[in-house]
Chain A
């Protein structure tokens, strides 16, 4: 393993501040440089590690860029058919109610082909966590238009920009899901800056804890970039995302558990 190091005297085990978690396997991620998937995988693995869920977690991987997710995180996995991850996760959770069950899906998987499964799973209030990566494009198949593509945004199937009259409006699936009574915690985060990475991790930690309460579906949308699909460098794509995507998909909690709202009202400084 080739390495470059900073000041050698500081590099001692007792000074360790941050290290890639051991739950991540040594396989090299198949994603393009700068893709938000890698960051999200790492956060997810850190949450599983910190909560001690490695033996209890069962993930359902989707079809899309993250189809090989089971190579990267060292827990139990099940691959689902395109868009059917929430249905598979429902079955797993009902048979093994003590396990931590989650799905990890992209926007083509969750918001296009799997819309029915997603909405009905959330409406039934299945006690699973759904992680939704929204990059506004079909990344794996070559940058085609997705339901979440912004108006006027170019993709390989909308080369003159998305025309809402012909191609419809972008689908804010997280907002739809937040209105369903079955969901317990619905939030929208991103992973393009260190602050947002920390917030996303906090949201995932919360969701992992809420699952033990058996109160309903937790749903985390992560607005992400797709440098290859958007035809930009990773840094440009993060900037473009901040300027355009986050205007249409504002970050923040869309639904917080009622108990927590009461708690925050009693301790305003704890928010």
Chain B
């Protein structure tokens, strides 16, 4: 069976650190960084990139649209 793998790109300059994406990620790929961006928000980043399945749930709920999702079959 083909395995679906995904990858996300987070535009950290626009991220406001609301954490809505982290609670809606089904695989625990995305987490909050320990550093802040230039506005002083803790930004979201793919902490476990190997787990990403490209479901785009994080991008769906992101109020600021900072997440771009890529998805492929391996």
B7 and A194 contacting across the interface, CB-CB below 8 Å: no
Q: Tell me the interface secondary structure of chain B in the complex.
A: mixed
Given contacts A3-B9, A33-B18, contact A10 B61 (CB under 8 A): no
A258 at interface by CB-CB < 8 Å? no
Query: Chain A residues near B18 (CB, 8 Å)?
Result: 33-34, 227, 234-235
Chain B 40-74, CB-CB to A under 8 Å as 1, else 0, gives 01010110011010111101111111111111100
A20 at interface by CB-CB < 8 Å? yes
A193 and B61 contacting across the interface, CB-CB below 8 Å: yes
List 18 A-B pairs, Cβ < 8 Å: A1-B11, A3-B9, A4-B9, A4-B43, A6-B29, A6-B52, A7-B50, A16-B69, A18-B56, A18-B67, A18-B69, A29-B64, A33-B16, A34-B18, A36-B63, A37-B63, A38-B64, A198-B60
Q: Which residues of B contact A (CB under 8 A)?
A: 5-14, 16-20, 23-24, 29, 33, 37-38, 41, 43, 45-46, 49-50, 52, 54-57, 59-72
Q: Which residues of A contact B (CB under 8 A)?
A: 1-8, 10-12, 15-21, 24, 28-29, 31-39, 42, 191-194, 197-198, 227, 233-235, 238
Please provide the 8 A-B residue pairs with the shortest distance between their CB atoms, ordered closest to farther: A38-B63, A34-B18, A6-B49, A33-B16, A20-B65, A6-B7, A33-B18, A10-B7
